[in-house]
Amino acid sequence: MPRAASVLGFALPALLAALPAPAAEPSDEVAARAQTQLLFGDLHLHTGWSFDAFTFKTLATPDDAYRFAQGEAVAQPLGMTFRLDRPLDFLAVTDHAEYMGLSRAMRDPKSPVSRLPLARQALDPDPNVSGKAFSLFTRALATGDAKMLGDDKGEIAKAVADSWALAKDAANRHNRPGAFTALIAYEWTASPGYNLHRNVIFADDDAPQPFTSLDSQRPEDLWDWLEAERAEGVKVLAIPHNMNMSEGNAFALVDSDGRPLGADYAARRTRNEPVAEVTQVKGTSETHPTLSPNDEFADFEILEVPGGGTKRISVFAGGYARDGLMRGLALQDAMGFNAFRFGFVGATDSHVGMSAIDETDYTGSSGVADGTPELRLDCKYCKGFADQRARSAAGLTAVWARANTRDDIFDAIARKESYATTGTRMAVRFFAGPDLAGIAPGTDGWVEAAYRAGVPMGGDLKAGDRPPVFLVWARKDVEGANLDRIQIVKLWSRDGKAQEEVFDVALSGGREVDPRTGRAPPVGNTVDARTATYDNTIGAAALAARWRDPEFDPALPAAYYVRVLEIPTPRWTTYDAARLGREPPDGLPATIQERAYTSAIWVDPPAP
Q: Is the pLDDT of residue 590 over 70?
A: yes
Sorting pLDDT into bands at 50, 70 and 90, what band is 234?
very high
Sorting pLDDT into bands at 50, 70 and 90, what band is 18?
very low
What was the pLDDT predicted at 186?
98
Least confident of 137-141, 262-266, 366-370, 533-537: 137-141
What was the pLDDT predicted at 32?
78
Query: What percent of the chain shows pLDDT beyond 70?
Result: 94
Phi and psi at 165, nearest 5°, equal -60, -40
Sorting pLDDT into bands at 50, 70 and 90, what band is 393?
very high
Measured CA to CA, the distance from residue 605 to residue 162 in angstroms comes to 51
Q: What is the largest CA-CA distance in the chain?
A: 74
For the residues 219-247, what does the mean pLDDT come to?
97
What was the pLDDT predicted at 127?
75
Q: Is the pLDDT of residue 131 over 60?
A: yes
Q: Is the pLDDT of residue 306 over 80?
A: no
Sorting pLDDT into bands at 50, 70 and 90, what band is 12?
very low
- Using one digit for the tens of pLDDT, what is the confidence trace for 309-356? 667 898 999 999 999 999 999 999 999 999 999 999 999 999 999 999
Cβ neighbours for 103, distance < 8 A, ≥ 6 positions apart = 48, 49, 51, 54, 59, 122
Least confident of 63-67, 86-90, 135-139, 295-299: 135-139
Measured CA to CA, the distance from residue 242 to residue 253 in angstroms comes to 18
Cβ neighbours for 303, distance < 8 A, ≥ 6 positions apart = 244, 282, 283, 390, 391, 392
Q: Is the pLDDT of residue 21 over 80?
A: no
Q: Record the pTM.
A: 0.93
For the residues 589-597, what does the mean pLDDT come to?
98
- Using one digit for the tens of pLDDT, what is the confidence trace for 78-103? 989 999 999 999 999 999 999 999 88
Least confident of 186-195, 400-409, 562-571: 186-195
Least confident of 143-152, 392-401, 507-516: 143-152
**What Å distances lie between residue 166 and 33, 62, 420, CA to CA?**
36, 9, 30
HEC string of 243-281?
HHHCCCCCCCCECCCCCECCHHHHHHHHHHCCEEECEEC
What was the pLDDT predicted at 307?
63
What was the pLDDT predicted at 135?
81
- Within 10 Å of residue 417's Cβ, how many Cβ atoms? 23
Residue with the larger pLDDT of the pair 467 and 138: 467
Measured CA to CA, the distance from residue 281 to residue 299 in angstroms comes to 16
Query: What percent of the chain shows pLDDT beyond 90?
Result: 77
Q: Confirm if 239 and 275 have CB atoms less than 8 A apart.
A: yes
Q: Please give the mean pLDDT across all residues of the chain.
A: 92
- Using one digit for the tens of pLDDT, what is the confidence trace for 373-386? 999 999 888 776 67
Q: Is the pLDDT of residue 13 over 50?
A: no
Sorting pLDDT into bands at 50, 70 and 90, what band is 25?
very low
For the residues 467-484, what does the mean pLDDT come to?
98
Q: Is the pLDDT of residue 272 over 80?
A: yes
Q: Is the pLDDT of residue 152 over 80?
A: no
Q: Is the pLDDT of residue 174 over 90?
A: yes
What was the pLDDT predicted at 57?
87
Q: What type of residue is 37?
A: Q
41-68 burial string, b = 16+ CB within 10 Å, else e? bbbbbbbbbbbbbbbbbbbbbbbbbbbb
Sorting pLDDT into bands at 50, 70 and 90, what band is 24?
very low
Measured CA to CA, the distance from residue 466 to residue 552 in angstroms comes to 9
